[in-house]
Amino acid sequence: MGRTVEFFFDFGSPASYLAHTQLPGIAARAGATLVCRPMLLGGVFKATGNASPVTIAAKGRWMAADLARFAARYGVPLRMPPNFPVNTLAMMRGAVGMQMRRPADFARYATAMFDAMFARGLDMADPAVFAGALAGAGFDVAAFQALVADPEVKQGLVAATEEAVARGVFGAPTMFVGDEMHFGQDRLDFVAAALAR
């Protein structure tokens, strides 16, 4: 079909994790291409005046229950990490850096980060835990640290986040099929329908 679905995400978003578990299959069934678009959710929130649902107690409680329902529906594990929400700056720079410098490793990196955060519920705010997750997925920790310190990679994440905001993104995950925007992993059926048209 030649359709494309763009997936704007941040590793700190449990809804992005759930979308990540489903979008490859949705794209494959539609004969479409999945394009992963890392962005810094904190930057999006700052630019748009939005905030994490966990900042509102009642909404945070509802979201936790709703995410668990969807994880059960999808048949995937969901374990919230301690000290949630987590600062994902290094992880997201890593995502941009992998796409820029080591694109063949990006999918493995993305899966490792999402799994560490929300399948295993690791404390990725702890540098030792983060390093262990990288090493366990087969990445050289020193090389990763050099990658995320690269000024071009840093600017790449800034540019990606600015592009997301310019296109109307206000949270994660956000998917685009052409110019049609879909926000939230609970809208994946609309993504599938858009790809089928």
Cα Rg of the chain, angstroms:
16
Q: Give the tens place of pLDDT for each residue, 86-145.
A: 999 999 999 999 999 999 999 999 999 999 999 999 999 999 999 999 999 999 999 999
- What's the pLDDT tens digit per position in 14-48? 999 999 999 999 999 999 999 999 999 999 999 99
Cα angle 155, 152, 9 (rounded to 5 degrees) comes to 50
pTM of this prediction? 0.96
Domain of 116 in residue numbering reads as 4-196
Contact 52, 13 (CB under 8 A): no
Peptide bond into 77 cis (omega under 30): no
CATH of the domain at 104: 3.40.30.10
State the alpha helices, DSSP H only, in the chain.
Answer: 14-30, 41-48, 57-74, 89-101, 106-114, 127-136, 141-149, 151-166, 188-196
Q: Are 78 and 68 in contact (CB under 8 A)?
A: yes
Confidence of residue 1 (pLDDT cuts 50, 70, 90): very low
Counting the structural domains of the chain, the total is 1
The two three-digit tokens of residue 101, written as one number: 């410098």
Which amino acids are annotated catalytic?
Answer: 13
Kindly write down the DSSP assignment for every residue of 86-134, as one continuous string: ---HHHHHHHHHHHHH-GGGHHHHHHHHHIIIIIS---TTSHHHHHHHH
